[in-house]
Amino acid sequence: MIAMDKDEFRDFAVDIMGGDTAAAASLGYDVSSAVVDHVIKSLPELGVERMTWKRGAPGSEFVVWMERESPREDALVLADMLRVAVATVPRPRCVTIEVGRVVRVHDRRDQKKWTAVAVHVKSPLTGERVVLYTTETT
């Protein structure tokens, strides 16, 4: 399974990304993280702020979220727009993109809170990253 996933990442880097990443993939280097970064950059902007969260990254332990109670309509509309948009994002088969629930995010460093739509990007080789699309800040 892992070998097949590495092949998918290599093929994606060579066929879709090109450049330095394709060259590294052709020489057998692990390009899984670069490919997932590319997939995340390919997610739609939709005119709102977004933040990428990865477990274990510096500062990640300060950001927590839970499902938002009674989300506003603009957040629900954004979630629907994301569901449609992510379906067309090119990616290796082993990379999944799931639009999650509307969440309430709390950054404990500066006590900021905001409402966001969580988009989960997962692969067996890179784990999970979450892109939070902000809809409301307090």
Domain limits for position 92:
2-137
What number is the average pLDDT over the span 5-15? Answer: 93
Write the pLDDT tens digit of every residue in 73-106.
999 999 999 999 999 999 999 999 999 999 999 9
What number is the average pLDDT over the span 58-81? Answer: 91
* Chain mean pLDDT for the chain: 91
Instruction: Determine the Cα–Cα distance for residues 80 and 104; give it in Å rounded to an integer.
Output: 17
Q: What is the number of structural domains in the chain?
A: 1
Q: Listing from the earlier edge strand, what are the strands of the sheet with 96-107?
A: 50-54, 127-137, 112-123, 96-107, 63-67
pLDDT band at 57 (very low <50, low <70, confident <90, very high): confident
Write the pLDDT tens digit of every residue in 22-56.
999 999 999 999 999 999 999 998 989 998 988 77
What number is the average pLDDT over the span 5-26? Answer: 94
